[in-house]
Structure 1
């Protein structure tokens, strides 16, 4: 079986992903596990904004981060961000699987 663990290095989720990777490999050593940072497949400006913005907000203004998180957990906003998300997803698919979506 092939397993893909997609994570983002901003925050602590990548540490949990590493633990999941290790646990999976120990339980199913014959499986192929690949762990990727999805920010590696996004435009540089977006990657910098996410990583730096997250660290600054959490480190200096955790209440503001919680507020922003709640406000952006919004279906209307998600629809507005569909195009950039699709571009990032296409770049990720091309890199990981050699898929040319054009």
Structure 2
């Protein structure tokens, strides 16, 4: 089974600058308070007794650009009767959306 480490030194760097030391919560999970922004380069370094030092890094992606150049919305309303319910009139609404 996996051995949980509760006494590791977990450092969070943002754009090459130490931002904070993460704190141990429970079940091998370390938490920080910093919320990265798009474009931030995040690096995590971990050191614990009996283990080799490890690090990982990534860049927080920017939000994708979405452009809607044309759209159509069609709304149809109607009534219908179901044959096994002769004295009942049902209403229906159908919406169709097209984006291009």
TM over 0.5: no
Larger radius of gyration: 2
Instruction: State the TM-score bracket (shorter-chain normalisation).
Output: under 0.3
The structure with the greater share of residues assigned to helix is 1
User: TM-score under structure 2 normalisation?
Assistant: 0.23
The structure with the greater share of residues assigned to strand is 2
